[in-house]
């Protein structure tokens, strides 16, 4: 029998297509490809647990219990950059490589972060509301700023953080970053300033853009204490992972006027749960869509399929994030 590759799509809102046209075009006759709809590993069927590789969309969390049920899985591929929805340690204990697709959507997420920053700094939404009331005043003149007078702080200078920093620099922002994991000299290579502590970055920045993964170290990296360090006139943008920014803390800061605004593509425990949360003043929320474009989605799916094909053929795997390599 041919190997089986299972694509686990989100039952609540399908993100791929049932025929898996992109994946089939890449995998060819190396394996049978089937799409299954799941909300979590509680929905795993016998066909899923007997599959030779899994391609998993981000809205299908997989914990230790689900991973331990997998009987012959040679690779679990997260269809995207983040892999916090998969228990990579449980997968390692079971000898299952977990892979991601870190190089797709870099341009889109960076563009989205800059778009949110510009909408906030130039107050486009309040101006739009005023203009559509048939009015012609400037409702928030004190918030409209010249970009070259502002400091743009980037948390995490990986692929997307670097792309965002370069875009901000090109627009005239004074750009700095904080990333404790980078070697010295990186800031000189791209011509921006390095802050040695997160506290210093938060205190100095007029716009803070978050670009770090979600893990035990970064969960609630931005919470009450950190928000209190920011200027009341500053803006926070998050296109990384919702759990990096504590939701109750950021919403409270906005309601109480301790922060001028926030642009959140990702929100802890997303989506927003109540009308009160949605009515938070000076909040712009988008639907975890920063990664998305027609082009990026095709690139992501093709990359995941390429890794899955390599797995069932016993070839070397790309982008292994849990240290397990299983080759024939």
Is 226 an annotated catalytic residue?
Answer: no
User: Of 241, 268, 301, 309, which one is the catalytic site residue?
Assistant: 241
In angstroms, the Cα distances linking 87 to 33, 320, 322, 326 are 24, 14, 10, 18
Q: Report CA Rg, the chain.
A: 21
Beta strands in the chain (DSSP E): 4-10, 32-38, 53-56, 75-78, 98-99, 151-155, 174-178, 193-194, 207-210, 235-238, 261-264, 283-285
* CA gap 39, 49 in Å, rounded: 15
Is 241 an annotated catalytic residue?
Answer: yes
User: Does the bond joining 271 to the residue before it have cis omega, within 30 degrees of 0?
Assistant: yes
Question: How many other C-beta atoms lie within 10 A of the C-beta of residue 82?
Answer: 17
Tokens 């697709």 correspond to: 101
Pair of tokens at residue 78 = 């997260």
Beta strands in 215-281 (DSSP E): 235-238, 261-264
User: Of 270, 277, 299, 318, which one is the catalytic site residue?
Assistant: 270
> CA nearest 115: which of 239, 16, 28, 204?
239
Is 225 an annotated catalytic residue?
Answer: no
Q: DSSP secondary-structure letter at 33?
A: E
In angstroms, the Cα distances linking 270 to 58, 205, 247, 256 are 12, 26, 10, 22
> CA nearest 99: which of 309, 313, 298?
309
User: Of 4, 211, 288, 301, which one is the catalytic site residue?
Assistant: 288
DSSP letters for 85-123: TB-HHHHHHTT--EE--TTSSHHHHHHHHHHHHHHHHTT
Strands across the sheet with 261-264, in order?
193-194, 174-178, 151-155, 207-210, 235-238, 261-264, 283-285
> Which residues carry out catalysis?
241, 270, 288
């Amino acid at each position: 029998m041919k190997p089986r590759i299972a694509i686990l799509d989100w039952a609540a809102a399908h993100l791929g297509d049932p025929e898996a046209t992109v994946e089939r075009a890449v995998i060819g006759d190396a394996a049978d490809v089937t799409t299954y709809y799941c909300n979590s590993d509680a929905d795993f069927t016998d066909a899923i647990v007997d599959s030779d590789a899994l391609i998993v969309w981000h809205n299908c969390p997989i914990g230790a219990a689900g991973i331990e049920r997998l009987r012959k899985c040679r690779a679990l591929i997260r269809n995207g950059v983040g892999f916090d929805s998969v228990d990579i340690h449980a997968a390692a204990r079971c000898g299952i490589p977990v892979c991601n697709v870190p190089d797709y959507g870099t341009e889109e997420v960076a563009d989205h972060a800059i778009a949110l920053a510009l909408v906030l700094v130039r107050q486009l939404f309040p101006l739009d509301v005023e203009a559509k009331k048939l009015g012609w005043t400037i409702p928030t003149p004190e918030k409209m700023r010249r970009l070259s007078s502002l400091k743009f702080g980037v948390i995490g200078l990986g692929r997307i953080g670097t792309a965002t920093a370069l875009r901000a620099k090109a627009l005239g922002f004074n750009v700095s970053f904080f990333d404790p994991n980078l070697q010295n000299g990186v800031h000189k290579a791209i011509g921006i300033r390095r802050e040695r502590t997160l506290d210093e970055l938060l205190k100095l920045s007029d716009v803070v853009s978050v670009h770090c993964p979600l893990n035990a170290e970064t969960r609630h990296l931005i919470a009450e204490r950190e928000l209190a360090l920011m200027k009341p006139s500053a803006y926070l943008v998050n296109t990384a992972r919702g759990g990096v920014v504590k939701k109750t803390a950021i919403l409270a800061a906005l309601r109480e006027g301790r922060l001028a605004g926030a642009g959140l593509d990702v929100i802890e425990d997303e989506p927003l749960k109540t009308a009160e949360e949605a009515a938070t003043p000076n909040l712009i929320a988008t639907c975890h869509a920063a990664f998305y474009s027609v082009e990026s989605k095709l690139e992501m799916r093709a990359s995941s399929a390429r890794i899955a094909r390599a797995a069932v053929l016993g070839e070397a795997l790309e982008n292994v994030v849990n240290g397990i390599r299983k080759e024939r």
